[in-house]
Structure 1
Amino acid sequence: MLCLLVAQPEQIQDMNLMVMKKILASGCTPLIVTVNKPYKVLTKIYAKEGIGPESYFVIDAVTQYSGGVCPPSPRVKYVNNPSNLTDLGIAITELLKQMPEGKKCILFDSVSMLLIHIPSATASKFLHFVVNKLQLSDVSGIFLSVEKGLDPVVMSQMSAFVDHVMDYEQAQKQTCLL
């Protein structure tokens, strides 16, 4: 199952938490691809909600770009820049292989932030690559975006790539997103 979830800018963090809780409740192991918040910040946000770092994997494309320290961890891969799509794609492939057997899900946070770093056409091609990789690997994917944060062309293309497009309120009502 592949979903694009959109929310108002002030709801994005709440939506991320809600989605993480639903992913974990479904017995799925999440791989968070973050171009929005550094791993260090994400772990603090999740910890406040009782979500420990042992329950998820992360690809962090923010920390190095922002000049932060990237402590080694078997559950985290750092990409030097959100616009480095080659390394981002390699990191996704590598971490998916490292993850334990069973249900897996990618939480991509956030499509709209990716568009700050790369042109819309390039983002569409990359997201299409990711979607195809997930489908071939039988991995679910949830893509978060700020409502009205996507170029209309990217929005229409993403809508065609995924199985469902939902806003925050619709996603909250769903018992399972996968």
Structure 2
Amino acid sequence: MNGDGGFEWVGAASETAYNLGEELDNRTVPAGTNLLVVGPPMAGTRRFGIELLAAGAEDRPIIVTNRESARTIRSDHADCLDGPVGVIDCVTKQGGEPRLDSPSIRYAASPDDLTGVGMELTDLLAGTPDGKSGGDRVLFDSVSTLLMYSCAERTARFLDVVTARIEEQDAIGLFALNSLAHEDAVYERLCRLFDGVVRLDDGGVVDAELPES
């Protein structure tokens, strides 16, 4: 399948199921599930997503970050991310910040470098899972930042390809979205791309529409 910008998805992984941790009552979702995590700015969608990554002790977490650098993500969330973590950093190159020297950290040119993000995610998902026996958990933080750089239609096309790739790899995808930043039509268009939606407020989970495992 060819995605936005011309990169190509290839390969597949073995099936598994994913436990979503205590915040979601240890419910499980099938391999290949993509969830939209929605909340206002103070609800902590990034932190919630990282906690969902950490809920799979045997799984490999991958973070696509277009709001903070890899250095900041690792520093601020070291209590959750205490093992090998793959990071695709869309901030550092554009901002001229110092890079971290690690084969598990990749750098896209900017938040709207969709081709670069797609290529790096393809590579990380296809790579050796660091000796672990589980699957891959991917957090995209955030869809709202992507919409600041790209129109809604281009963003939707890109996410359609990314979610398909995650499904093909039997991974799980978590995509953070600011619930106050977008028109209803954009929000509804995006929701149709995902298998379920988790809604947050500043007190935690409001409701979760999840597929059956």
Normalising to structure 2: TM-score of the pair?
0.73
TM superposition shift of 1:99: 4.5
Would you say 1:2 and 2:34 are equivalent positions? yes
Q: Which residue of 2 aligns with 1:75?
A: 104
Distance 1:29 1:150, change over 3 A: farther
Cα distance between partner residues in 1 of 2:207 and 2:191: 20
TM superposition shift of 1:17: 2.1
Q: Which runs of 5+ in 1 are unaligned?
A: none
- Rg bigger for which structure? 2
Identical amino acids, percent of aligned pairs:
25
Distance 1:92 1:154, change over 3 A: farther
Cα distance between partner residues in 1 of 2:98 and 2:71: 9
Would you say 1:96 and 2:125 are equivalent positions? yes
Map 1:8-157 onto structure 2 (within 5 A): 8-12=40-44, 15-27=45-57, 28-47=59-78, 49-52=79-82, 54-100=83-129, 102-157=134-189
TM superposition shift of 1:172: 7.4
Distance 1:50 1:5, change over 3 A: closer
TM superposition shift of 1:11: 2.2
Q: Which runs of 5+ in 2 are unaligned?
A: 1-32
Question: Contact 2:49/2:176 (CA < 8 Å) preserved in 1?
Answer: no
Answer 1 or 2: which has greater helix percent. 1
Q: What amino acid maps onto 1:145 in structure 2? A: L
Runs of 4+ in 1 over 4 A off after TM superposition: none
Question: Contact 2:53/2:139 (CA < 8 Å) preserved in 1?
Answer: no
Normalising to structure 1: TM-score of the pair?
0.86
CA distances 1:110-139 after superposition (whole Å, capped 9, x unpaired): 000111111111111101110111111111
Question: Contact 2:37/2:49 (CA < 8 Å) preserved in 1?
Answer: no
TM superposition shift of 1:50: 4.8
CA distances 1:17-58 after superposition (whole Å, capped 9, x unpaired): 2332232223322110001111111111112x3532x33210
For residue 113 of structure 1, give the secondary structure of its aligned residue in structure 2: helix
For residue 93 of structure 1, give the secondary structure of its aligned residue in structure 2: helix
Q: What amino acid maps onto 1:85 in structure 2? A: L
CA root-mean-square deviation: 2.3
TM superposition shift of 1:67: 1.4
Distance 1:68 1:35, change over 3 A: same
